[in-house]
Structure 1
Amino acid sequence: MIYELIEVQSVKLSNITRCLKENVSLKKTIERLSINLKSFDKQDSLFSNYIDLINKYTNDETVFCVDSSDIVKSNSIVLEDLGTVKDGSIGKIEDGYNIFEIAALIPEHKMPLCVYSRLFSNAEKGFTSEKAEIFNGLEYLSRTFGTKSIRALDGGFDNNKFMNILLRTKNHL
């Protein structure tokens, strides 16, 4: 399946299936690939290997860009755990999801590399708060990459709660 992902440069199962050129119906092959993907349970190992690879390129001068955002789905009514968010562009409460991401800026690469990404909703089971989700991400960053690299945060993090956690863990701002 990895070969086909590279070959077809798509994550759509229908495109991958066509690339396989099997003598089985498209529908049957898509069903087989879906079942295999559902049974894949090595996500933690895969992500750990990815982070180990990125860690080889990070140092004290690496800049980690920290950003919190949202995805508004105002026209959707039946989405899993659809919650509410404050739409930053219009300042209204809308249906949607929150996103918290951290990307590493590494000189060897021409684009940021994602090191943490969390899509969450205030309607999902076990949700505590947006700040708790952000704190979890910042703590993950410190545990995984240490505290000496640089953290770049946008204006939304300009408050004492976020600054205190970063200063307490001796992160460089």
Structure 2
Amino acid sequence: MRLSVFALVAAGVVLVLIERAYRVFEVHLSGLILSVITSSGTEVVGDRETVYFGLSGDTPLGLRMTPECSSVFMLLPLLLVTAVMVWFRPQNSRTLFTSLAIAAVAVVIVNQLRVLAIVGLVNWLGVDTGYYWGHTLLGSLVSVLGGAATLVLFVWLSTRRRA
């Protein structure tokens, strides 16, 4: 039990320490998704944590993944809550780790949806208006609602009783 708690806390510390590499991973994932769903040309520059899109159009744009835009800091509370829950209910460790894994994937998906929402609004409304509304309103809405839904999913999965 204590080893599991230590592993969860250590995973949180490691995530903070490798946060930049994690952002590069997220940018590459965004670039991959964009290259599949758009035909306007995308490019990822990992050392700048930036995905460029719309390269074949008149208004190309680069989205830089800054620390506050990364999903890494949405994962930390899940790790710490799981550690506390394992501490108090070690017999539920398997369920808690499964719930954590599912919620972690959901967090990454939510963050990718936020990036796609920004890209969609930029393509629809243009660079200035689309980026403003995509980043400040729709992107924030996706993050907040998606984060809340992920937390509810985690709590539901980790506390439900099996038949």
- Bigger strand share: 1
Larger C-alpha radius of gyration, 1 or 2? Answer: 1
Q: Which TM-score bucket, shorter chain as reference?
A: under 0.3
- Bigger helix share: 2
TM-score by length of 1: 0.26
TM-score by length of 2: 0.27
